[in-house]
Amino acid sequence: MSKQLALVIDLNVCVGCHACVTSCKEWNTSGEAGFMSDDNPYARDPTGTFFNRVQTFEVGEFPNTQTVHFPKSCLHCEDPPCVPVCPTGASYKRAEDGIVLVDYDKCIGCKYCAWACPYGAREIDEHQKVMKKCTLCVDRIYDELLPPADRKPACVMACPTSARLFGDVHDPESVVSKAIRDSGGYALMPEWGTHPANHYLPRRKTEITLHRDELERVDNPLKIDGKLPKPDSRAPSLDDSTSW
């Protein structure tokens, strides 16, 4: 089976720190997919191109609230709806590793792909007039000038909680396939039939079960100091009123 590179994002440990957001921007603005422009960088309503953003939302009502940090970037769909709609062939999926890319030389900035993408993962660069998106740092991961340990997407390298796993989801023995299999990995909006390569791992909860006998122990240290309450020997007892 061909290779399909992807990210698996573990929501169980993501704390929403935005390290993936800015490390992506930092690598890519000076990389092959750059630049990544910023409008009004020092004025009202700053806005710029990001390949990866963290959305934070709440689930449930107080006090049963979950706060979810949800990093989102191009999901590198196995069946990407952005590719067939592209009138120039600029939007394409690589056969060798499944990465979905945009050829800036062919892109005319018509935004059809952005409309077709159900995940809102594409961002038009108003200055370069081309559509931009996550490349899985294709200009890093095959760069033989980098030490092998560094040949990973910038966001994966940066992530302080290692919430971002990277690998080939078609290889059942890869770290990402194992994580999806073992930790209930899921794809976003499967009903769209896009078969996203990126997956998410859900929150998992650890609880402690306490048994009553754990609080009633013979080795209770209060006994050593004579403080586990003992009845007064003068208090009424069965001994006082039974004669057989």
- Asked if residue 8 binds another protein (CB under 8 A), the reply is no
- Sorted by sequence, the CB contacts under 8 Å of residue 190 that are 6+ apart come out as none
Residues 118-137 that bind another protein (CB under 8 A): 127-128
Residue 58 is a binding residue for another protein (CB under 8 A): yes
Closest Cα to residue 51, out of 67, 32, 79, 78? Answer: 32
Quick one: which of 95, 145, 149, 235 contacts another protein (CB under 8 A)?
Answer: 149
Angle formed at CA 185 by CA 132 and CA 84, multiple of 5 degrees: 35
Task: Please identify which residue in 69, 72, 94, 106 interacts with another protein, judged by CB under 8 A.
Answer: 69
Binder among 40, 55, 88, 237 for another protein (CB under 8 A): 40
18 binds another protein (CB under 8 A): yes
- E strands along 11-89, which residues? 38-39, 47-48, 52-59, 66-73
Q: Is 27 in the site for another protein (CB under 8 A)?
A: yes
Nearer to another protein, 39 or 79 (CB): 39
- Alpha-carbon distance values, 110 to 38, 82, 120, 123, 151 (Å): 20, 12, 15, 12, 33
DSSP class of residue 45 equals S
* Closest approach of another protein to the CB of residue 85, in Å: 27
Q: Nearest distance from residue 1's CB to another protein, in Å? A: 29
Kindly tell me which of 110 and 128 has the beta carbon lying closer to another protein: 128
- How many Å is the Cα radius of gyration of the chain? 28
